[in-house]
Amino acid sequence: MLPTPVRYKLVAGSGEGNTHLTAFDTALLNAGAGNLNLLRVSSILPPRAVEDPNLTIPPGSLTPVAYGTLTSDQPEQIIAAAIGVGIAEDPAGYGIIMEYEGYCSRKEAEDVVTAMVQEGFAKRGVKLQRILVKGVEHRVEKCGSVFAAVLLWY
């Protein structure tokens, strides 16, 4: 069993490759998550978790992550991904993570995750203090990918 994460970092990146997988790998590398073993989790930020923009995770680590990603091989297509983290007003409360990817601009993707975080808090009846958002957009050349995530760590 994994311990509950206590730190987190928002990351985003994009990249090109010859295949969908290598484009995704390049986006991971550009986001700073390319050398981690990602364990996809659902969208709850643990209570008392603290944002750490300088968070460094050892290569090969099993890393809990909530993320949105999209890959396309349609030249000139605009793709985007965004991640949003809602912080509860109660410092002992949990937060909510929402992710989005689509054929849109970075701004549009960020607006969608912001609205999703607000809705998630409203549905739970939890008071929202603030929202952190990070997004990325990419114009596909050959095969492009976008990736936006919250890396969770101990």
Catalytic residues, by residue number, are 37, 42-43, 99
Contact (CB, 8 A) for 84 and 97: yes
Q: What is the dihedral of CA 59, 26, 52, 111, to 10 degrees?
A: -150
CA distance 5 to 40: 14
CA distance 127 to 140: 39
CA distance 150 to 83: 7
Q: Tally Cβ neighbours within 10 Å of residue 131.
A: 20
